[in-house]
Structures are given as C-alpha cells and as structure tokens.
Amino acid sequence: MIIAALAGNPNCGKTTLFNELTGSKQHVGNWPGVTVEKKEGNYKKDNNISIVDLPGTYSLSPYSAEEEIARDYIINSKPNVVVNIVDATSIERNLYLTMQIAQTGTPMVVALNMMDEVESMGIDINTNKLSEMLGVPVVPIVARSGKGIEKLMAVTKDTAQRGIATLKQDVYDKIKNIEENKNDEEADILAADMRYEYIDKVVDSSVFKPQIKKLTTSDKIDQIVTNKVLSLPIFAVVMYMLFACTFSENFLFIEGLPSPGVWLAGVVESLWGSLTGVVDAALVSAGVSDWLHNLVIDGIMAGVGAVFGFIPLVLVLFVLMSFLEDSGYMARVAFVMDRIFRKFGLSGKSFIPLLMGFGCSVPALTASRTLESDKDRKITMMVTPFMSCGAKLPIYLMFVATLFADSNRTAIIFSIYALGMVMAVIGSLLLNKFMFKAENSGFIMELPKYRIPSLKSVGIHAWEKVKGFAIKAGTIILFSTILIWFLSNFNMSGMCDMEESFLAIIGNSIAWIFAPLGFNDWRASVGVVTGWIAKENIVATFGQLFAGVTDEAVLEAVMAGEQGLPAIGDVFTKVSAFSYMAFNLLCMPCFAAVGAMRREFGSMKWTLKAIAFQMVVAYVVALIINVVGNIIF
Amino acid sequence: MDLLSLKDGESKKVVGINAEYAMKKRLIDMGITRGTVITKVKTAPLGDPIEIKLRGYDLTLRKDEAAKITVE
Ligand SMILES: Nc1nc2c(ncn2[C@@H]2O[C@H](COP(=O)(O)OP(=O)(O)OP(=O)(O)O)[C@@H](O)[C@H]2O)c(=O)[nH]1
Ligand SMILES: [Mg+2]
C-alpha cells in the first residue's frame, strides 16, 4: 500500500485533483479536534495507492490549525510520497512550500497544475530545468481536465517505491543547517529569505514571461467587482440572490414563484407526505395497535421526514456556495466585509452563515465551512442560531396577536430580530475574549484569480455535503424526534394525552427554573422542549395545552398572527412574553440545527459546548429582560 | 516610507518589515522579502484592507500590517 499525501497552497487545485484521482470513492470527515475537512480515498485506477488531501497551506510553519495538520502529517505520519501541487500561475510563492517539503526529506513529486492558464497567459515553463534545479520530478498537469494525471501517478508510484527524497540535498541542507544550528527567530527569517533567493534563481532560469504586461481577464473582472462604487451594490445583489434562491417564496419579487430551494423542499415534502399516507393506510389495514401506528407515523416518519425536508435547502445553498467559492468571489466577500466583521472578532466571510441564519440555521451552519480559521468557524457556528430563523417567526406572531395587539406589532417583532443580531455580536466578542483567548492573527489573505467553476467539482461537493448531513445530522434529528414523541405521548400506564405525559411531568418539575424569567408554568416549559423538534411547534403545543385547540386551520391562523390565543394571557404578561420569545430565540436551536452543528464541528464535545453557551446566553438575556422589564413597566 | 503611502497602481521595492516575529515570518512566507516589487492595487470600498500584487499574485492585508512594511 502506498500512501500519497496531496499538499499545496490554498486554491492550487488540490481538491480538483483529489476528485479526479479518486472519483466518488472517498471518505470525508474532520481532522481530530478541529473543524477542518479530512478527505481520504483510493486512486481509482490503482487501489494500492491511497490518497490523503491535506489542508491547503502556504508554509509549514504553523500559524493555524490547517497548517499544523499539514505539517504534522508530513513530518510525523511519514506518507510514502508527497504530491506537491504547484499553481503554475503563481509559481514563485508556491515553490516556497515545495522547498520546505523537500527539506523534510520525504520523497516528493511536484505536480505543476493550471498549465492551461499558464499557456493562455503566454508563460513558458521549462519543466526539465525546473526539475533539475529543485531535485525532484516535475509533472505538468491540468487537474481540471485530467491531462497529465496518469503520468503524474506513474511518477508518484515510482518515486514512492524508490524512496528517494531529492537530488539537490546540498541546497536544502544549507537552509536546514541555518535553521537548526541557530534555532532562533533571526535564523528562521534568514532561512525564509534564502528560500526565496533560491526560488528567484530557479524561476529566472526556467520560467519565461512575456515582456509586455497586459491585464488578465481576472484583473479586469476585479476592477469592476471590487470597484469603489460598484462593489457594495454588487455584493448586495449577490447576497440577495444567495438568500432568495434558497429561501424565497416570492422569487425575484414574483408573487407566488418559489425559489429553487423552496420548490425542491415542496416537492420532497409532498412526496414524503404521500409516502406517509401510504404507510398510514397500510398500518390501519394491517390493524396494528394504536401506539405502534403512532410511533411509525408521528415518530419515525416525521423524524425521517424532517431530515429529508432540510436536504433541498442544504443542497441548493451548497451548490451556490461552491460556485461563489470556486469562482473566487468568496475571497472578495471577505475583502469587502472585513472592516465591519473584524470589530466583532469574526471574519468577513462570517457574513454568509449569519445572513443565511435568517432563513434557516441548518444550511447556514453548513455554510460556515468556507471560513479559513478554525476559531472564526467555531465562533460563527455558535452565534449563527441567534439569527432569528423563519421557524421562530410564528412564535412571535402568536404572542404579538395575543398580548401586543395594542402596541406597534412591527416594532415588537423587529426588536426581537435586533436582539438576536446584537447578541450574536456580544456573544462573539465574549467567545473571542474568554473561550479562544483571541490571538490577533492579522488578516493576510490571497485574492485568488477568478475562474469559471467546474460543474463536476460543484456536483461532488454538494453530494458530499448532503450525504454528510443525512448521516451525521440525520441520526441526531431522528433519535431526538422519536424521544420527544415518546415523552409527549406516554406515561407510566401507557399511551396518554400530552397533558398527562412524561413531558408534562418534566415540564412541571422544571418550571421553577424559569420562574426568574417570568414564566413559571409547566406548559411554557413543555413548549421550550417541543420547540427543539422545530421551533414553530411551540404554537401547536400552546394551542393544545392552553386552549385545547388541535384544529389545523385555527393553529395556522395563530401562526400567521391573524388570531390570538387569549388563554396564554392568563400566564404571560407583556414582559414575560417578551422574555419567553427571547429565550426561545437564543436557547438551543432545533435538533436539525444541533445535528448540523454536530456534523460541522465534527465533535460532540464542541456541539455540547455550543449548546451550553446558547442556553446560558438565553437564560441571562431573558432574566435581564424580565427584571428590567418589570421595573420599567 | 511604508507600503500605505503608495498610490493605487504604484510599485516599489521592499526594504524591510518592522513587525513582531510571527507577523514578520508570515509576511515573508507569503513572499514579501527584501527586494520584492510590490504594486498597490486598491483599497477596499470601506477603507480597509488594501489589495497588493506581488510575485504574480494578489494579496490583501489590513492597513495596520501594510504600515509595517517599508519600501524604497
Ligand atoms: N484552469 C484551471 N483551473 C483549475 C485547474 N485545477 C483547478 N482549477 C480551479 O481552481 C480553483 C481551485 O481549485 P480547488 O481544487 O478547489 O483548490 P484547492 O487547492 O482544493 O483549494 P482549497 O481547498 O481552498 O485549498 C477551482 O475553481 C478549480 O476549478 C486547472 O488545471 N486549470
Ligand atoms: Mg480544497
């Protein structure tokens, strides 16, 4: 078995090559302890070659979790061979990593990628000369079309089997000696300088650039896209389209036209609905007992349905995100938004997950994958659910129609949304300060060239995402749905109404916890719990428990804020209603979002930390609202 | 003179970097070594960060960092 590690700068085409090499036979997960993607797979034409896609890195000096992984992997796990992918369009910077890898003494091959672009830029690279000066084999490839890949793999296999590191040991040893003998900061910097000096020599004798410098297509696009005047309007349009394509019910402002995301979700939902109907009829005709019928329909079918229901949103958003990412626009999002978001201790790219959070936290959380730093990614995920999602709106509408009929309803609802945004900012500042001990790592980011994304890689990405979500998140969603179903339908003597269920007992025994928040009532506590299946469930739960309403039509009117539920006025005041809304906005999101967090964090520990953080924030904020509110009103 | 004082489109050679070790190393790893020609491309629409071109690629960094890079 030969283990070949793919290493290279970010955006050099590693993933494209990896997909080309492994086809669909790949395992995607996270590296232990960090939310950085780990991919492994076998070469599709030779199962004896196993390929590991390392995180993109500019250097082997560890500045970030990604770089540490790549470095530790090459140095400690000792792959048989490193395939170093070099983006030939920015060869000087790419060769820096090449020299660092060569210095480790691991057998390596340089895959000189993007040769198609190099040719169209009129640049000529003498690969023999390059190979001679670097002391390692160099194979020109076009990862995107697969050109040169068989040759690359033949050379890779040969290099691994012969196990030779480099033929230019003297060059690398000289640098290594400086680093190791002095081993101080100055020596490190001297060594880095020496690498670039050597690279300049290599490039001078093997790369021939045309004399006349003309603007590349990418430069021309950038003149428009990050232009002083146009960049913000363009940004707004792109972000609007991203949101609208995923969530809009009136797409492109056309009344009743569903966006691709909404349309697909509708199709899946109605298919699932018919399937549930068929299963329902079959169970009835088979004459199964009540509880089994109920378990299958309200527990299992509803749970699996919830997983399927989110897949279209995850899929559509992810296809769009891959487009933004692969085209190079995502880096410009960070360029444009950095000034604002760094004040909150986040990255400009956090804008996208946070914006998507207003639609639904599930796809929003998966969108956090585009953030480079592990810290930014984790903090963004922890605060994204504070953005009030679509499912929370019915709760506000119910309270507003019931208790705030005489106030400015819009202002009340707007203030809840604003509260979520403010808490996201405060939350991320606190997390930066206390949980991550923010080291200011600066903001030094490459702006990659604009490229037309390849449909194949967008497709593979989206498929991975959906699969990962269905498996990892799906398990959590399914089990918790069944658990809550059980708790709300049973007590010690068997099946019962919700009023007598375990859940009611639990509600009764935990209600005191919420007394300081203003709602010491078992039904309110039960609402919090059923809200974790889906936040809008709170309305149905309240309808049933406070007023005995189970009629769909009435519940829908309540959800739309057209009708109030006067009975909740016996328990809630304006202040405690606001506190309850705030609590449900900020506390643990629905299980689907928890599943998405679990999938993205790649660790249960971090998922639980995030939930604990959200619960504490929710409690404290609701407490403040109740105490301060009661003083003022 | 530091990198910040370049006008859009202007190019200068790097003389040195006055930053603490980690930042300095990072900038050098990205190719900002003595003698490298850097072109300032533009400033972001909100006034920070800036975009520069060097060694055939584009890089963005904040003004705080750009101010630490001295040019001829
Ligand atoms: N023209 C051209 N484009 C390519 C080639 N290989 C990759 N690309 C494009 O380059 C961009 C980056 O490729 P990726 O495979 O995502 O790069 P990566 O190294 O995995 O990037 P990170 O995961 O961000 O580190 C994508 O838009 C690809 O379609 C190539 O040989 N020619
Ligand atoms: Mg990649």
Q: Where are the domains of chain A?
A: 2-208, 223-389+414-436, 472-632
Q: Is A324 in the pocket of ligand 1 (CB under 6 A)?
A: no
Q: Ligand 1 centre from A149 Cα, in Å?
A: 15
- C-beta of residue A517 within 8 angstroms of C-beta of residue A619: yes
Q: Cα(A622)–Cα(A519) distance, rounded to whole angstroms?
A: 10
The verdict on a CB contact (< 8 Å) between A335 and B33 is no
pLDDT score, position A472: 75
**Shortest CA gap B53–chain A (Å):** 10
Report the pLDDT averaged over residues A472-479.
Answer: 83
Distance from the Cα of A353 to chain B's closest Cα (Å) equals: 21
- Return the amino acid letter for A159: T
Best probe of the B interface among A91, A121, A445, by most B CBs < 10 A, is A445
DSSP3 helix / strand / coil % (chain A, rounded to 5): 65, 10, 25
- Nearest residue of A to residue B43, measured between CA atoms: A228
Residue A627, classified by CB atoms within 10 Å of its CB into exposed (0-12), middle (13-18) or buried (19+), is middle
Q: How far apart are CA A108 and CA A630, in angstroms?
A: 69
Residue A606, CA distances (Å) to A388, A597, A609, A613, B69 in order: 22, 9, 5, 10, 39
HSE-CB at A9 with a 13 A cutoff on CA atoms is 27
- Other beta carbons within 10 angstroms of residue A291's beta carbon come to 14
Over residues A485-495, the pLDDT tens digits come to 899 899 998 88
Average pLDDT value for residue range A184-191: 87
Task: Give the whole-angstrom CA distance, residue A308 versus residue A84.
Answer: 39
Q: Say if CB A38 and CB A30 are below 8 A apart.
A: yes
> Can you give the pLDDT at residue A155?
97
Mean pLDDT, range A544-550, rounded to an integer: 87
**Mind listing the pLDDT tens digit for each residue in A499-532?**
899 999 999 999 999 999 999 999 999 999 999 9
Instruction: Tell me the per-residue pLDDT of A65-99, one tens digit each, with 9 for 90 and over.
Output: 778 889 999 999 999 999 999 999 999 999 999 99
Indicate if the pLDDT at residue A276 is higher than 90: yes
- CATH number where B25 lies: 2.30.30.90
- Give CA–CA dist A109/A155, Å, rounded: 8
Best probe residue, ligand 1, of A16, A84, A97, A112 (max atoms within 8 Å of C-beta): A16
Asked if the Cβ–Cβ distance from B28 to A185 is below 8 Å, we say: no
Distance A116 CA to ligand 1 centre (A): 12
Beta bridge partners of residue B58, listed in sequence order: A447, B53
Quick one: closest CA in A to B63, which residue?
A: A443
Q: Assess whether pLDDT exceeds 90 at residue A620.
A: yes
- Report the sign of the C-alpha dihedral through residues A352, A358, A360, A361, in that order: positive
Residue A153 CB–ligand 1 contact under 6 Å: no
Least confident of A373-377, A391-395, B44-48: A373-377
Minimum CA distance residue for ligand 1 atom 27: A326
Residue A35 clears pLDDT 80, i.e. is over it: no
**Residues A450, A218 contacting (CB under 8 angstroms):** yes
Whole-number mean pLDDT of chain B?
93
The whole-number average pLDDT for the span A138-165 is 94
pLDDT value at position A474? 85
**What's the per-residue H, E or C state across A227-294?**
CCCCHHHHHHHHHHHHHHHHHCCCHHHCCCCCCHHHHHHHHHHHHHHHHHHHHHHHHHHHCCCHHHHH
User: What pLDDT shows up at residue A137?
Assistant: 97
Mean of the per-residue pLDDT values of chain A: 90
Residue A326 is predicted with a pLDDT of 87
Nearest ligand to the CA atom of A7: 1
Angstrom distances, CA of residue A181 to CA of A99, A103, A105, A192, B25? 19, 15, 18, 15, 18
Contact A94 CB / ligand 1 (< 6 Å): no
- Whether A444 sits inside 8 A of B27 (CB atoms) is yes
Å from B50 to nearest chain A CA?
8
Taking an 8 Å cut-off on Cβ atoms, the answer to whether B64 and A90 are in contact is: no
Question: What per-residue confidence (pLDDT) applies to A441?
Answer: 65
Q: Would you call A447 and B59 a contact, using CB atoms and an 8 Å cutoff?
A: yes
Q: Which atom of ligand 1 is nearest to the CA of A147?
A: 31
Question: B49: domain range?
Answer: 3-71
Residue A339: which pLDDT band, with cuts at 50, 70 and 90? very high
How far, in Å, CA of A514 to CA of A580, rounded? Answer: 9
Q: What is the pLDDT of residues A320-334, one digit of tens each?
A: 988 888 899 989 998
B13 — contact with chain A (CB < 8 Å)? no
Q: What is the pLDDT of residue A606?
A: 94
Residue A141 has pLDDT above 80, yes or no: yes
CB contact under 8 A, B21 and A185: yes
Say yes or no: domain A2-208 is CATH 3.40.50.300.
Answer: yes
How many Cβ atoms sit within 10 Å of the Cβ of residue B44?
23
pLDDT at A183: 67
Would you call B20 an interface residue with chain A, using a CB distance cutoff of 8 Å?
no
Question: Could you tell me which residues are beta bridge partners of residue A41?
Answer: A26, A51
Ligand number nearest to the C-alpha of A12: 1
The predicted model gives A386-391 an average pLDDT of 92
> What is the pLDDT confidence band of residue A559, given thresholds at 50, 70 and 90?
confident
Query: Looking at residue A438, what is its pLDDT?
Result: 59
Angle at B44 between CA B40 and CA B48, to 5 degrees: 95
pLDDT for A53 equals 94
Number of compact structural domains in chain B: 1
A89, A118 in Cβ contact below 8 A?
yes
Q: What is the mean pLDDT of residues A341-355?
A: 90
- Say how many Å lie between the CA of residue A13 and the centre of ligand 2: 7
Give yes or no for A217 touching B (CB within 8 A): no
CB neighbour class for A194 (10 Å; exposed up to 12, middle 13-18, buried from 19): middle
Residue A17 CA to ligand 1 center (angstroms) comes to: 8
- Residues of chain B with C-beta less than 8 angstroms from the C-beta of A89: 56-57
Higher pLDDT, A503 or A250: A503
- CA A454 to ligand 1: nearest atom: 29
- HEC string of A89-130 equals HHHHHHHHHHHHHHHHCCCEEEEEECHHHHHHCCCEECHHHH
Answer whether B34 sits within 8 Å of A59, measured CB to CB.
Answer: no
| Mean pLDDT (whole number) for A527-547 | 91
Inter-chain touch B44–A91, beta carbons under 8 Å: no
Q: What is the mean pLDDT of residues A113-137?
A: 95
Quote the ligand 1 centre to A451 CA distance (angstroms). Answer: 9
Can you give the pLDDT at residue A166?
A: 84
Q: How many CB atoms lie within 10 A of CB A225?
A: 18
3-state secondary structure (DSSP) of residue A51 = strand
| Residue A31: predicted pLDDT | 78
